[in-house]
Amino acid sequence: MSSQHRRPSARSTRIIALTASLAVAGLLAGCSGGTGEVNSDYGFATAEQVEDSTITIWADASRQPAVEAFEAAHPEVKVDLVVDDGSANGSATFQTKIALADQAGDGWPDVVFSTQINDASWASKETNGVQAFAAPLNKGFIDDEFLSGFTAGALDPVTIDDTVYGLRNDLAPVLFWYNKALLDEFGYEVPATWEDYIALSDKLAAEHPGYFLGSVGDTFLGTYVYYWAGAAPIFTLDGDKFGSDLSDPNSQRVTEMLDHMVANGTLIQDSVFSAEFVAKADKFVGSPGPVWFSGALFQNPDSVNAQAGQWGGSDPLYWEGDDKVTGNVGGGMWYASSHSKNLDAVKTFLEFITTDKATAGTGGLPAYQAAADTWLADQSSSGFYDGDFESAVGAAASSVWDGWGYPNFSVETAYAKVIIPGLAAGKTIEDLAAEWQTEMENEAKVAGYTVG
Amino acid sequence: MSATELTGKTRRGAGSWLGQGAAGLVAVAFVLFFVVPIVWLLLAPTKDGRELLLGAPFSVGGWDQLAANWASLTSYQDGLIWTWLGNSAFYAGAALVITLVISIPAGYAMALTEFPGRRILLAVTLIVMLIPSTALVLPIFLELSAVRLVGSPLSVILPFSFFPFGVYLTYIYFSTTVPRALLDAARIDGAGEFRVFAQVAMPLATPVIALVGFFSFVGNWNNYFLPFVMVPGRKAPVQVGIAELLSNVPQFNPTNAASTTIDLPTLALATLLSVAPVLLIFLFSQRFLVTGMTAGGTKE
Amino acid sequence: MSTNTQLAAGALAGRQPTGAGRSRRPDRAQSRIGITFVSGYTLFLLVFGILPTFYAVYLAFTKANAFVGIDNFVKVFNDFRFLPALAHVGLYVAVWVVSLILLVVLLALIVHSVRARWLSSTVRFIYYIPGALAGASSVMLWLFVLDPTVSPVSFLLHALGNQTLVDTVQLDQLPVVLAIIAFWTGAGGWIVIIYGALNNISTDVMEAARIDGAGPLATAWYIQIPLLRKWIAYMAILSLAAGTQLFVEPRVLSQATRGVVPLDYSVNQLAFLFAFKQNDFNGSAAISLLLLVVALLLSVFFVFRGGLFERD
């Protein structure tokens, strides 16, 4: 057909030229734009401030009551709360959404809550020419006096090169929770060491089958509550070097313990947030667990819903003859956005959310010392928990093992991928140990760390 | 003729009944397969969480339970579900208008006019329309982020409006149902090309406009990947939104132990709402759809 | 309902255009109006079809705007998640396409053989309805159906040894589970199309077969299915192209099972992670390009080898 060989008409040439120039212009526009001048009041390059603008907060549903309390206490601050999953289970929601906003050049929230405590590892870095999302807090934005009110060590995961990038929501050290009523009924002692715990499990399995001593069905239980508390170096970070050693003696001890207890039925595989767990809650004899089990499980009408005096907390378990260390299950961090247009409101919010006597800690142990003291005193005076709860929590909070790393990926994803389905299929953690270690090492490599 | 018919029929007597029985069984089994989840979905919002877990799958709950689940869903984040539905309607609707405006004339032009590059355009259209939309999402995202459009409704509406299949459908339709003779007659009468289109072709185009509109709207309403990367958060359409809702269902997000939990029945209700418009369109246009899709060449 | 079934429907609906008048010299008025009418669409085609492809190519072969050859591809291939993701998608596509072809043809034949027209069209409609739920909604629904604690078919799941959702979606079974979800949503449209194609088979041929004494099975095997070959091939190719793009189902399942279905299960998910978790847009473009090339090859094969699109 002759028409095919004709020159393209003038109109189509124009169209192509127009589109091409649009694209080039766009690419050029996208290439420009970097970080601006550092604002000396704050210590980072701030966006143009708009007084009284609404602040956007990304937080999960568990923090919603606290945010609402803030709105009630500070009606002058306009808040837009967007509820997400808080990056639970290592879903990296925070990171991927911020990456999207960075690409769009727009859409950053003003405050973000993350259940993971390792986000500062990426949020403090500039990416693709866009300023680091997390605003440095101790360079003038928040008073040093306020920052020093946090419990010692609470802000360590978010302090990089002496710059603090976030505020801790709660401390979640692992202590030992026990069902006093059941222990008394069966005539058992509260275990003090891991060895005691294992012996208890054997007795329980023999004399009262069906009763259990905890779960390994949640990604944060197996990893933080057992391996971290057992001082097992399965997730270590040394500068840029990641390490995971499941053949270390402590790692092996924990693995044996878990396999033993899964085998004798005293460790279940149901998530503590599942309906199955709630159905069995009356057979729950005790377990190591984070402080926030208090609000999430024991004082929660939809969960264990304990009666006063039925449950108690005691010092964390430790290996006989070894240092008394324990683990930590998250604790959550609040980050301020360096792109925020209303840093005053953000400051007011951050200070409230970490210190307000009624809601700080959102059901767990507040990270701000004064609020923590109040919370512990309240728990003690209410007599809800048996034993010296305050001292147990204090012991736990001050003995978190420092051999655990905070790289920019989560230990939970490998556990979910390898251990949970493996256990469900009837394998032991020992069987899966090599695969699990390889998976964590691979994830580290992908995240840019060196392994070995 | 009749004799052979008879022998033919009797010879196949018993075997044919067995065969028909088996065939019927298979057909019925699949009817159940396709229908059971939908019936379950319709009934689930009438129960509460416990009934859903412990009761029989097809038990019917109560109206008041339905009202409670409805209230729980609509009060979530101050009616976020309506924002999502509104977004879906806006994106799919706006894209629908633009799609029709650019696709119908294009299909007409490719079918009934002659211009340089027509065949190349047709070939390119055919090739591109077979590429699943998800294949181009990330490249389009990168392209639009280079022009800083990501995050605006346009970043969703414009890609949605690119619908090569609609152009192709229109092309097929015009080339088979509008005789050139009709157009030539109008041209001879002195009508300009635009009038030929508007007054001869367009009145005949209602079925294809409806078809293209239907496929465009349904496809865009159900699209997940593109809006997921372009407009997360408050601007998300309902498909992306209900996936976000998952993070508030205790069974699916463990660290959720607070007041705004979404129960499973409420999630089911949200799912139902998210497909309601399309489902309704399907139901009301079923006859038109089924015959429209197999029009031309079927001899029922 | 996927666009693949839509476009095949369109093909079924269409006939060869009457080619009269093509050899005439096009006059300028027609030419002008033609170009005006396609200009809008062509612009969109360029911006959302052609340009993104070129941009993806550009990104896949560069890093920070410098040409790096196939470095990005090497990096992607060596990523420990890439080959498993390929295997997952490959397995899923294999299971899905095979079962789709077998079951769609079977059901279409059955539905076609039903004498009562109202029954036939009702059954076809019922098969078609799930197509209204696509994307995230259907996965949400299937979350319930797959969870033995709430599922309407929990007895079936228990019988297969699945006590919890984690059991049902374990990686061994996952390709089958995903294929079932995809089948539920997509089969109806294809059944309607194959049914239409069956209707196109002339009744004379069917009569002749019946007179020869062929039973329904023999007729199906020797007459109908061979005449459906083209349609079956199209169904296979289009489903293949769509299946490789797997994203939303494993993503929602990953969220719901809290990571038991990994975040990097499918190739598209991996591309997403490269872009947004690792800020590696070049790697992401490399993966997208691979998927695009697969889809493109299938598409070109379909267009140029498939007889139904012979034009002019």
Which of B31, B44, B275 is the closest to C137 by Cβ? Answer: B275
Q: What is the pLDDT of residues C4-18, one digit of tens each?
A: 555 555 555 444 444
For B57, which residue in chain C has the nearest alpha carbon? C152
For residue A180, the distance in angstroms to the closest alpha carbon of chain C comes to 31
Asked if residue C297 belongs to a domain, the reply is: no
| Residue C57 in this model has a pLDDT that exceeds 60 | yes
Contact C59 B142 (CB under 8 A): yes
| Residue A28 in this model has a pLDDT that exceeds 60 | no
The pair of three-digit structure tokens given for residue A16, joined into one six-digit string: 């192509």
Asked if residue C202 belongs to a domain, the reply is: yes
Asked if residue C272 belongs to a domain, the reply is: no
Residue C258 sits in which domain range?
82-263
Contact C262 A416 (CB under 8 A): yes
| Residue A2 in this model has a pLDDT that exceeds 50 | no
What mean pLDDT comes out for the span C121-144?
84
For A89, which residue in chain C has the nearest alpha carbon? C258
| Residue A232 in this model has a pLDDT that exceeds 90 | yes
Asked if C149 has any chain A CB less than 8 Å from its own CB, the reply is yes
What is the per-residue pLDDT for B98? 95
Which of A15, A413, A421 is the closest to C43 by Cβ? Answer: A15
Between the alpha carbon of residue C189 and those of residues B16, B156, C101, C182, the distances in Å are 28, 26, 13, 12
| Residue C193 in this model has a pLDDT that exceeds 80 | yes
Which of A3, A100, A275 is the closest to C276 by Cβ? Answer: A100
Q: What is the pLDDT of residues A81-127, one digit of tens each?
A: 888 888 877 788 899 889 888 877 778 999 999 988 889 989 999 88
Share of chain B above pLDDT 70, in %: 86
Residues of chain C contacting residue B108, judged by C-beta atoms under 8 Å apart: 37
What is the per-residue pLDDT for B260? 55
For A119, which residue in chain C has the nearest alpha carbon? C277
Contacts of C among chains (3+ CB pairs under 8 A) = A, B
The pair of three-digit structure tokens given for residue A382, joined into one six-digit string: 């209410």
Domains of chain A by range and CATH? Answer: 55-171+330-367 (3.40.190.10), 174-328+381-451 (3.40.190.10)
Contact C137 B239 (CB under 8 A): yes
User: B1: pLDDT confidence band, cut at 50, 70 and 90?
Assistant: very low
Q: What is the pLDDT of residues C225-241, one digit of tens each?
A: 888 887 888 788 888 88
Contact A85 B253 (CB under 8 A): yes
What is the per-residue pLDDT for A5? 38
| Distance separating alpha carbons of residues A223 and A218, to the nearest angstrom | 9
Contact C46 A424 (CB under 8 A): no
Asked if C115 has any chain B CB less than 8 Å from its own CB, the reply is no
Region of poorest pLDDT, from A240-244, A294-298, C248-252 = A294-298
Please report the residues numbered 135 through 174 in chain A whose beta carbons come closer than 8 angstroms to any beta carbon of chain B: none
| Distance separating alpha carbons of residues C253 and C259, to the nearest angstrom | 8
For B146, which residue in chain C has the nearest alpha carbon? C55
Contact A103 B141 (CB under 8 A): yes
Residues of chain A contacting residue B145, judged by C-beta atoms under 8 Å apart: 30, 103-104
Asked if residue C228 belongs to a domain, the reply is: yes
Asked if residue C193 belongs to a domain, the reply is: yes
What mean pLDDT comes out for the span A177-187?
93
Please report the residues numbered 47 through 86 in chain B whose beta carbons come closer than 8 angstroms to any beta carbon of chain C: 52-53, 57-58
What is the per-residue pLDDT for C128? 83
Q: What is the pLDDT of residues A341-396, one digit of tens each?
A: 999 999 999 999 999 988 888 878 899 999 999 988 888 888 889 888 889 998 89
| Residue B256 in this model has a pLDDT that exceeds 70 | no
Which of B131, B164, B294 is the closest to C292 by Cβ? Answer: B131
Q: Mean pLDDT across chain C, nearest whole number? A: 82
Asked if residue B257 belongs to a domain, the reply is: no
Residue B217 sits in which domain range?
79-232
Region of poorest pLDDT, from A131-140, B156-165, B249-258 = B249-258
Contacts of A among chains (3+ CB pairs under 8 A) = B, C
User: A215: pLDDT confidence band, cut at 50, 70 and 90?
Assistant: very high
CATH code for the domain of C245: 1.10.3720.10
CATH code for the domain of B119: 1.10.3720.10
What is the per-residue pLDDT for B253? 63
Contact C166 A420 (CB under 8 A): yes
Asked if C299 has any chain A CB less than 8 Å from its own CB, the reply is no
Contact A442 C81 (CB under 8 A): yes
For residue B79, the distance in angstroms to the closest alpha carbon of chain C comes to 19
Asked if residue B178 belongs to a domain, the reply is: yes
Asked if residue B251 belongs to a domain, the reply is: no
User: Which of these, A204, A165, A213, A159, lies nearest to A185 by C-alpha position?
Assistant: A204
What is the per-residue pLDDT for B295? 46
Asked if residue C269 belongs to a domain, the reply is: no
| Residue A222 in this model has a pLDDT that exceeds 80 | yes
| Residue A325 in this model has a pLDDT that exceeds 80 | yes
Asked if A63 has any chain B CB less than 8 Å from its own CB, the reply is yes
- Tally: H helices and E strands in chain B: 16, 0
Unique residue bearing structure tokens 């498909």? B239
Question: How many domains does chain B divide into?
Answer: 1
What is the per-residue pLDDT for C64? 79
For the beta sheet containing A450-451, the strands, ordered from the edge strand earlier in sequence to the opposite edge, are A236-238, A241-243, A450-451
Share of chain C above pLDDT 90, in %: 20
| Distance separating alpha carbons of residues A31 and A18, to the nearest angstrom | 20
| Phi-psi region at A59: left, alpha or beta (left = phi > 0; alpha = psi -120 to 50) | beta
Asked if C135 has any chain B CB less than 8 Å from its own CB, the reply is yes
User: C137: pLDDT confidence band, cut at 50, 70 and 90?
Assistant: confident
Contact C258 A442 (CB under 8 A): no
| Residue C254 in this model has a pLDDT that exceeds 80 | yes
Asked if residue B268 belongs to a domain, the reply is: no
SS3 A287: strand
Q: What is the pLDDT of residues B87-142, one digit of tens each?
A: 999 999 999 999 999 999 999 999 888 888 888 998 888 888 878 777 788 889 88
Q: What is the pLDDT of residues A45-83, one digit of tens each?
A: 888 889 889 999 999 888 888 999 999 999 999 998 888
| Residue C311 in this model has a pLDDT that exceeds 70 | no
Amino acid at A320: E
Preferred mutation among C58, C99, C111, C150 to probe B, highest tally of B CBs within 10 A: C150
Asked if residue C307 belongs to a domain, the reply is: no
Asked if C99 has any chain B CB less than 8 Å from its own CB, the reply is no
Helix boundaries (H) for chain C: 3-13, 28-45, 51-60, 71-78, 82-113, 117-128, 136-146, 154-159, 165-168, 174-199, 203-211, 216-218, 225-227, 229-243, 248-256, 267-276, 281-305
Share of chain B above pLDDT 90, in %: 17
What mean pLDDT comes out for the span C67-88?
91
Asked if C124 has any chain B CB less than 8 Å from its own CB, the reply is yes
What mean pLDDT comes out for the span A29-50?
70
Contact between residue A258 and residue A283 where contact means Cβ atoms under 8 Å apart: no
Q: Tell me the pTM.
A: 0.80
Contact A300 B117 (CB under 8 A): no
Residues of chain B contacting residue A23, judged by C-beta atoms under 8 Å apart: 143, 146-147
| Residue B162 in this model has a pLDDT that exceeds 60 | yes
| Distance separating alpha carbons of residues B82 and A204, to the nearest angstrom | 52
Asked if residue C312 belongs to a domain, the reply is: no
For residue A49, the distance in angstroms to the closest alpha carbon of chain C comes to 28
Preferred mutation among C6, C157, C207 to probe B, highest tally of B CBs within 10 A: C6
Which residues lie closer than 8 Å to B126 by C-beta, 6 or more apart? B164, B168, C299, C303, C309
Asked if residue B52 belongs to a domain, the reply is: no
Question: How many domains does chain C divide into?
Answer: 1
The ipTM (two decimal places) reads 0.83
